[in-house]
Amino acid sequence: MRMPADVDYITAKETASILGVSVDTLRFWRYTGKHTKALTPYANISRRVFYKRDDVQRFFDSSMTAIA
């Protein structure tokens, strides 16, 4: 599966770093369905998960707004 070139994708490790959570937390969220509407994983490729950078940033911004 090839990802579209016009969208910036990042790994689960990069996503976890941006959100300030562990990779295991992201994995838990995927398996339990938590935050799947706001933070949808784009694709599993060779057992690696990728997220759209824009989705991650939007989720981060909305999470920080809700906390503050």
Q: For residue 43, tell me if it sits in a domain.
A: yes
Q: For residue 3, tell me if it sits in a domain.
A: no
pTM: 0.75
Higher pLDDT, 37 or 6: 37
Supply the range of the domain harboring residue 18: 9-67
pLDDT of 48 higher than 90: no
Reduce the DSSP state of residue 46 to 3 states and report it.
coil
Please report the pLDDT score of residue 13 as a whole number: 94
pLDDT of 68 higher than 50: no
**How many domains does the chain contain in total?**
1
Q: What DSSP designation does 45 have?
A: E
Which residue has tokens 């991650």?
Answer: 56
List phi, psi (to 5°) of 58: -60, -45
Please report the pLDDT score of residue 20 as a whole number: 92
The tokens of 60 are what?
């981060």
